[in-house]
Amino acid sequence: MSVRVAAPRAEAGISELLGGKRVCVCAGSGGVGKTTTSAAIALGMAAQGAKVAVVTIDPAQRLANALGLRELDNEPHRVAPEMLDSAGVDVSGELWAMMLDPKRTFDELIDRLSPTAERADEIKANRVYRELSSAVSGSQEFTAMAKLYELDQDRRFDLLVLDTPPTRNALDFLDAPRRLNAFLEGPTVRALVRPTGIGMRVLGRGASPVLGALRRVTGVDLLTDLGAFFGLLADMTEDFRTRAAQVEKLLAARTTAFVLVTSAEREPIDEAIWFHRRLAQVKLPFAGVVVNRVHHDLLSGHDSEDVRRALSRTLAPELAAKVAQNFRDYHVLAGRDERNIARLGDALGGHPLLLVPHLDEDVHDLDGLLKMRRYLFASGEEREQLIANMVA
Ligand SMILES: Nc1ncnc2c1ncn2[C@@H]1O[C@H](COP(=O)(O)OP(=O)(O)OP(=O)(O)O)[C@@H](O)[C@H]1O
Ligand SMILES: [Mg+2]
């Protein structure tokens, strides 16, 4: 049976794309499979002998369990070799995994950058900080990258695979350090921090009846908290800038690879095309695209009427018609995927596309990761064979 694959395919698997790399960033739109792809890449690279850590963000509970991740303690844990053995995974390297706790990473960053421990405690206890560390747009992405930088500095791992947060727009991720910095250095903060700024003036009028009333009603002394917070942070913005610059340098290094993950649906594909263009503009190293959850044409060449006829020999006519309808729907989906993937292939001008099929079940355990790994690490020819077997 012939298998039609629409786009330029990767002749090599992901391990060739990651040759000589120390950092792999899996980025893409929400819900396309970034977390599972990151875990499958890490598993496959560890199987080949590397010491790999995957930094995941908000993995599904069952996937976290499969990786033995029970606590959010912000440090990588080794996935127990016995666990891998019992799942039949032959890992000659080491697989480590951690769940990123953005709040905690931000706290650690404050600890590291504060001139004194007391100052760090004051900042962390501040109500505004507690809100800011989770609310400022980009802070989650920023902390993910800050953690990446720290782990990279440790030199404990051969490869770090970074999962990225579910951003509304995949491009937000790249702008995160800059946005956070812009916020910290922007007019709002400066106005509050300057001795003669509005913040200080307002704070000076602590007896203002309006604020007093607010405080009485809400119990929140917002402006005092806000002013105090930015006052505390004032002499740290330089350090934030330095850290953001270090992170940017790491992301741009020759030893870093961005792997874009997308599904074959229209919008994520559009975003992947956009993201790829953006990476080139800002000169960040792009390795390839994983097109996940691809529907391969199960009918390829057959007529659904033939399918119905064949099925009705063994199934009740109604059921046979239903199954044939399913085949037809799948055929339509496969056609749509094929066109979207071709569009992506055109836009990428020959860059490798690694196609991973839509599997029958969610990927929530080592078995599922192993299935994904097979497709990600196969050479072009092997991948075609795998798909042919799936379709047959
Ligand atoms: N190839 C696949 N076949 C079937 N199910 C898949 C496949 N890849 C991922 N999934 C499932 O799709 C869902 C989303 O995957 P995942 O959590 O990895 O996406 P994500 O991009 O990390 O999402 P978010 O942006 O919310 O973080 C999960 O339930 C996962 O098990
Ligand atoms: Mg995810």
Rounded average pLDDT over 76-96: 92
pLDDT at 318 over 80: yes
Rounded average pLDDT over 301-309: 70
Ligand at minimal distance from the CA of 56 is 2
Rounded average pLDDT over 152-167: 88
In ligand 1, the atom with minimum distance to the C-alpha of 32 is: 21
Q: Is 374 touching ligand 1 by the criterion CB < 6 Å?
A: no
Q: Which residue has the tokens 């930088």?
A: 149
Percent of the chain exceeding pLDDT 70 equals 71
The number of beta carbons lying within 10 Å of the beta carbon of residue 137 is 15
Q: Considering only residues 233 and 122, tell me which one the structure prediction assigns the higher pLDDT.
A: 122
What is the best residue among 362, 366, 386, 387 to mutate for testing ligand 1's pocket, by most ligand atoms within 8 Å of CB?
A: 362
- Rounded Cα distance between 131 and 123, Å, is 12
Q: From the CA of 27, how far away is ligand 2's center (Å)?
A: 10
Q: CA dist 169 to 134, 145, 279, Å? A: 18, 17, 14
Q: Is 33 left (phi over 0), alpha (psi -120 to 50) or beta?
A: left
Percent of the chain exceeding pLDDT 90 equals 34
User: What is the band of 359 on the pLDDT scale with cuts at 50, 70, 90?
Assistant: very high
Tally the C-alpha atoms within 13 A of residue 266's C-alpha that lie toward its C-beta: 3
pLDDT at 111 over 80: yes
Q: Is 29 touching ligand 1 by the criterion CB < 6 Å?
A: no
Which among 51-55, 131-135, 295-299, 306-310 has the top mean pLDDT? Answer: 51-55
Q: From the CA of 22, how far away is ligand 1's center (Å)?
A: 24
The DSSP result for 70-105, as a single string, is ----SS-EEPPHHHHHHTT---SSEEEEEE--HHHH
pLDDT at 54 over 90: yes
Question: DSSP 3-state assignment of 52?
Answer: strand
pLDDT at 285 over 50: yes
Q: CA dist 2 to 9, 90, 138, Å? A: 16, 32, 46
pLDDT at 161 over 70: yes
Of 13, 31, 110, the residue nearest 356 (C-alpha): 13
> Is pTM, for the whole model, over 0.75?
yes
Which residue type is seen at 12? A
Rounded average pLDDT over 370-389: 85
- Containing H/E element for 197? none
Q: From the CA of 62, how far away is ligand 2's center (Å)?
A: 13
CA dihedral (376, 382, 385, 389) positive or negative: negative
Q: Considering only residues 262 and 70, tell me which one the structure prediction assigns the higher pLDDT.
A: 262
Q: Backbone phi, then psi, for 197, in 5-degree steps? A: -70, 170
Which pLDDT score, from 0 to 100, does residue 204 have? 47
- Please state the separation of Cα 169 from the chain's center in Å: 12
pLDDT at 3 over 80: no
51-56 vs 77-78, strand pairing mode: unpaired
pLDDT at 183 over 80: no
Q: Backbone phi, then psi, for 280, in 5-degree steps? A: -65, -45
The number of beta carbons lying within 10 Å of the beta carbon of residue 134 is 12
User: What is the band of 226 on the pLDDT scale with cuts at 50, 70, 90?
Assistant: low
Distance separating the N- and C-terminal Cα atoms of the chain: 7
User: What is the band of 231 on the pLDDT scale with cuts at 50, 70, 90?
Assistant: low
What's the mean per-residue pLDDT of the chain? 79
Residues 6 or more apart whose CB falls under 8 angstroms from that of 62 comprise 364, 365
Q: Whose CA is nearest to atom 9 of ligand 1?
A: 33
Which residue type is seen at 245? A
Which pLDDT score, from 0 to 100, does residue 354 have? 93
Cα–Cα–Cα angle for 45, 379, 158, rounded to 5 degrees:
20
- Rounded Cα distance between 169 and 19, Å, is 29
- Rounded Cα distance between 11 and 387, Å, is 15
Which pLDDT score, from 0 to 100, does residue 324 have? 78
Which among 30-34, 117-121, 225-229, 319-323 has the top mean pLDDT? Answer: 30-34
Q: Structure tokens of 284?
A: 């960040």
Of 142, 54, 58, the residue nearest 105 (C-alpha): 142
Q: Which residue has the tokens 């529907």?
A: 295
Strand order in 286-294's β-sheet? Answer: 77-78, 94-99, 51-56, 159-163, 23-28, 256-263, 286-294, 353-357
pLDDT at 264 over 60: yes
